[in-house]
Structure 1
Amino acid sequence: MAAPNDETPGPDPAEQHEDPIRLLAIQDTPLSLDEVFAAVGDPTAGGTALFVGTVRNHDGGAGVDALGYSCHPTAEAEMRRVADKVVADFPVRALAAVHRVGDLAVGDLAVVVAVSCPHRAEAFAACRKLIDDLKHEVPIWKHQRFSDGTEEWVGAC
């Protein structure tokens, strides 16, 4: 039995049951790398991986002047489903994902995702899975406007 003056250790921080999904959003305002990075800060994580998707000036050999993103009303719920799966499959300490909608110019941030895990290999793998699944499963559509005056919808059914 411990003496009354003995201090007992607190709970192991790695075993806390806080929701590791710290930030999920679809927004029509510019994205912040600092906000996403801050959201995944965790003292139990030894590795943090961050992916930034930007609007590039070309696609498929054609010049891109601008693009617009739109989404289905269920997009944020689908983001949550994808994030929950990544958390279930990897030792995620914290996860964040934000995607932009509306009109964007070349160079603008379109998507930012980040994951922190105990080790770097896990963080890289979880971040890759998160962005790949978001791109394939979340109903967000891209409307590209090309330099030659043509346009194309990407991801729309």
Structure 2
Amino acid sequence: MDTIEVRTAAISVTDEFQALREGNRSDGATAMFVGSVRDFNAGAGVDGLTLEHYPGMTEKSLQRIVDSARARWDLGRVRVIHRVGAMQVEDSIVFVGVTCAHRQAAFSACQYLMDRLKTEAPFWKLESRETGKAWVAARDSDRLELQKWS
């Protein structure tokens, strides 16, 4: 069962974890990743972040990423919740959670989903920095992480 949601509302990690586990008696492993707005990037202080996306296209892209993870691992539940709009430092941006029978597959699938999401999902990030606003480009390090799954 997949849940893919792009929204402006805050992410409750507790609620998302409960949704993964509720009534889920067959999966013994749950792995999660939560990404948050941090207070620095590229050598400058960050005051906030605004994420933009193309509705419809973004969700389809996220579903393709989830489908590719399902093709690699026998996953139970998958939840990908991504925020858009204006956020402050410490706000959660993304929640990725997976369940499956065993921990190693859960860890691997969760990391795979994040590596693909960071490089392929159509989100545009505008940081509010102490030096002004700046669009954030994809990092070479993220592309290098993705290569290990080839």
Which TM-score band (shorter chain)? 0.7 to 0.9
Correspondence 1:36 to 2:19: no
Q: Please show how residues 2-151 of structure 1 align to structure 2 within 5 Å.
A: 20-21=1-2, 23-41=3-21, 42-73=24-55, 74-148=57-131, 150-151=132-133
| Partner SS state of residue 85, structure 1 | helix
Q: What's the CA shift for 1:79?
A: 0.7
Tell me how many residue pairs correspond in the alignment. 135
Cα deviation, residue 155, structure 1: 4.3
Q: What percent of counterpart residues are identical?
A: 36
The answer to which structure has the higher helix fraction is 2
Return the TM-score normalized by structure 2. 0.85
When the two chains are superposed, the root-mean-square deviation of aligned CA atoms in Å is 1.3
Normalising by structure 1, we get a TM-score of: 0.82
2:53 & 2:40 partners in 1: Cα distance?
22
List gaps (5 residues or longer) in structure 2: 139-150
- Measured after TM superposition, the shift of residue 28 of structure 1 is 0.8
The letter for the 2-side match of 1:141 is W
2:142 corresponds to: none
